[in-house]
Amino acid sequence: MGRIDRAFADASLKKPAFIGFTVAGDPDKATCVRIARALITGGTDILELGVPFSDPVADGPVIQKADERALAAGTTPDMVFEIVREIRKESDVPIVFLTYYNIVHRRGIEKFYRDAHEAGVDGILIADMPVEESGEVCAVAAQYDIDPIFLVTQTTSDERIKKIAAQARGYLYLVAVLGVTGIRDQVSEGAIDLLHRVRRLTSLPLALGFGISTPAHAETCARAGADGIIVGSAIVEIVERNLKNPDIMVPELQKYVQAMKQK
């Protein structure tokens, strides 16, 4: 059983797994490592690191700005792997990359996944890779014991969900809203309907993301039967508010994760 599987097995005893997202290298390498440690100390069950990209089409303004800050600070894929190695010195928490295909292709699929495995990455989600074109990537992922994570949206057909589930490992990332990442007022009925629809089609753990930011949202997802909740923009907003005050940022991040996990 891999680290991601263990995280869901442990979390299922009580509450959904908390998957916390931050952009690798935002606002710089050292602070990013502190952010990751704060999220883990707060109780994050799975850490999701965004590999900064110049055109993150799935992300809203908050995360786009974080990508820009990371790139401006000189963050490269090599540095992202270094960040993972720094985290691995202190923590065995599962680590998942959220990236885009151009980054993987440019490095070379085999080299990217080998380097990720050696650094200590457990799963990789390529946001713009359709399942129909994922065969080579999934084969290499299996070679290096890295779970391929896939997005499922409210417009995904049942037939396509079955294809995705057949390729995926670890968990499925269910997109709770129509649109890009960002904080929303509430969890939509469409998200809950999606959760129930996908549940009938696969036994993989199901994690809801996009727009989830409050303990009330977490409680709604838990009541609906989600195996995990994914929070990104709310975390990155805390980072952005405290760019000049990391000593304030770190405890605020810890408290935020703790509050989200109480529901």
Domain at 223, CATH number: 3.20.20.70
Stretch among 105-114, 132-141, 170-179, 195-204 having the lowest mean pLDDT: 170-179
- pLDDT (0 to 100) of residue 12: 56
| Whether 47 contacts 20, CB under 8 Å | yes
Active site residues: 48, 59
Which residues form the domain of 68? 3-261
The average confidence (pLDDT) of the chain is 92
- pLDDT (0 to 100) of residue 31: 98
For residue 185, is pLDDT > 90? Answer: no
Count Cβ atoms within 10 A of the Cβ of residue 78 and give its class: 0-12 exposed, 13-18 middle, 19 or more buried.
exposed
- What is the average pLDDT across 143-147? 98
User: Number of folded domains in the chain?
Assistant: 1
